[in-house]
Structure 1
Amino acid sequence: MTGFQLMIPPFVACMVLVAMLSYLGLHVIAREVIFVDLSLAQMAALGGLSALLIHVEADSTWAYALALLATAVGALLFALTRTSHREAQRVPQEAFIGIVYVVASAAAVLIANKVPGGGEAIEKTLTGSILWVNFKPTILKLAVVYAALGAFHYALRHRFLTISFHPEEAERQGWKLRWWDFLFYLSFGV
């Protein structure tokens, strides 16, 4: 296998990622929640490590479900800490995002200390390995999930774009911003 052939799967994975992540990045910048991705990823890692704590196999469906549940908790926290543009914002939402990140990181370290192989699990989670992805099942699953997320965001684009770029208009129309924020952060965390 040549070096070029070795790099085809990682390149395809990057192309699948770039379309959705660049779109979500526009929302993140508009909402001024720059580190929300790190915080949600840390919540997912905490959920995955929690699965190991209760003796669930690392790459099982239950482990992924616990990681998604932890991500949903993070999304809920971020949706609830949103402040209205009319309210005086004492603490920026980015501060809450940082607090969630630090608490989730500390909890992950504590759990990793109690789980056999926990240190290796944290290292695997933190380092990733895009160079060693393959078409089946990794890139195929990634493409299916991102296509579903893309369809979800396309169907709800008017709401998400208005809330991100014109939140005062969404407030004026009486939209339930916390609900829409929860959906946004949950889809972002997936």
Structure 2
Amino acid sequence: MQLIELLWPAFVLVVLLVFIHVIFGLEIIKRGVIFTDLAIGQIAAIGMAISVGFMEGDYQTLMTLGFALLGAVLITYATRRVEHIEAFIGMLYALGASSIMILLASSPQGAELFQKLSATDILFTSETEVYQSALLYACIALVMFIFYPKTTGLVRELTFFSMLALTVTSSVQLAGVLVVFVLLVAPSFIALSQKRFTPLYLAWTSGLILSVVALVVSYYFDLPTGYSIIFFQSIAVVVFSLFAGKR
């Protein structure tokens, strides 16, 4: 009973994270811009680093959202102007990562803060964070399932990247940049590498199962939860690609 009381907020958060990130992950892989989410997440983390490192955590959500939207606008513009878009996105990620290191270089807790930005221990997620995330992700899902399919051209691009930025703003604070990247890519990669099952449902199922296993293992063996999720999702992709995936 005590275990359920301790883990249920983290479990529900994992369900929510997998649910919302798969929606974007399938589209990102189809577009061939795999590092889009990682770049936006890293740019968003600049805002979080400024808030935590220099403002004692004040305006964290606002700063994170602002930088995430900036990253989304830059990528939206670049997709229409830059020939080698993946290289541009990679450089945007490098810019974000280096900016965070420079910002936190003089902070006594710089290394700890950088590790937190990469992967957070979601075992200690609060009930309030779960409820807020559920409401936010429900609204984003409605936009992506109802409004987004009806859009075209620039409106379609802005809708996609702005909703991705809003999602990343929340999930980076809750789980960290690398966890966000893995949840966006790994389940969708597995789902799109086969033709037997509906990609959306398979991505949700595989992503949830692997994340819950990681959650339980990290609890019983006292391992960092965020990195456990990254490990299980990543090893699943590697194994699936080598033994089950087909070109």
> Is the TM-score greater than 0.5?
yes
Partner of 1:11: 11
Partner of 1:163: none
Partner of 2:210: none
Partner of 2:38: 38
Contact 1:42 1:105 in 2 (8 A): yes
Shift, 1:8, TM fit: 2.3
Contact 1:49 1:118 in 2 (8 A): no
Separation in 1, partners of 2:44, 2:134: 20
1:108 to 1:154, Cα distance in 2 relative to 1, 3 A: same
Q: Which runs of no fewer than 5 residues in structure 1 stay unpaired?
A: 161-169
Larger RCO (CA under 8 A, 6+ residues apart): 1
Amino acid aligned to 1:35: F
4+ residue runs of structure 1 moved beyond 4 angstroms?
none
Shift, 1:122, TM fit: 1.4
Q: TM-score, normalised by structure 2?
A: 0.61
Q: Which runs of no fewer than 5 residues in structure 2 stay unpaired?
A: 167-247
Partner of 1:165: none
Partner of 1:56: 55
Separation in 2, partners of 1:144, 1:68: 17
Identity fraction in percent: 25
Shift, 1:64, TM fit: 1.5
Separation in 1, partners of 2:35, 2:125: 26
Q: Provide the aligned C-alpha RMSD in A.
A: 2.1
Alignment of 1:14-93 (within 5 A): 14-52=14-52, 55-58=54-57, 60=58, 62-83=59-80, 90-91=83-84, 93=85
Alignment of 1:86-101 (within 5 A): 90-91=83-84, 93-101=85-93
Shift, 1:24, TM fit: 1.1
* Candidates 85, 110, 123, aligned match of 2:115: 123
Separation in 2, partners of 1:76, 1:15: 28
Amino acid aligned to 1:3: L
Contact 2:148 2:156 in 1 (8 A): no
Shift, 1:69, TM fit: 0.8
More helix by share: 2
Contact 2:148 2:160 in 1 (8 A): no
1:186 to 1:115, Cα distance in 2 relative to 1, 3 A: farther
Separation in 2, partners of 1:182, 1:57: 32
Contact 1:78 1:182 in 2 (8 A): no
Partner of 1:150: 141
Asked if residue 180 in structure 1 is aligned to residue 156 in structure 2, the reply is yes
Contact 1:44 1:68 in 2 (8 A): yes
Separation in 1, partners of 2:147, 2:34: 22
Contact 2:45 2:100 in 1 (8 A): yes
Partner of 1:110: 102
Separation in 1, partners of 2:119, 2:104: 16
Separation in 2, partners of 1:66, 1:2: 36
Shift, 1:144, TM fit: 1.0
Corresponding pairs, count:
166
Secondary structure of 2:56's counterpart equals coil
Amino acid aligned to 1:78: I
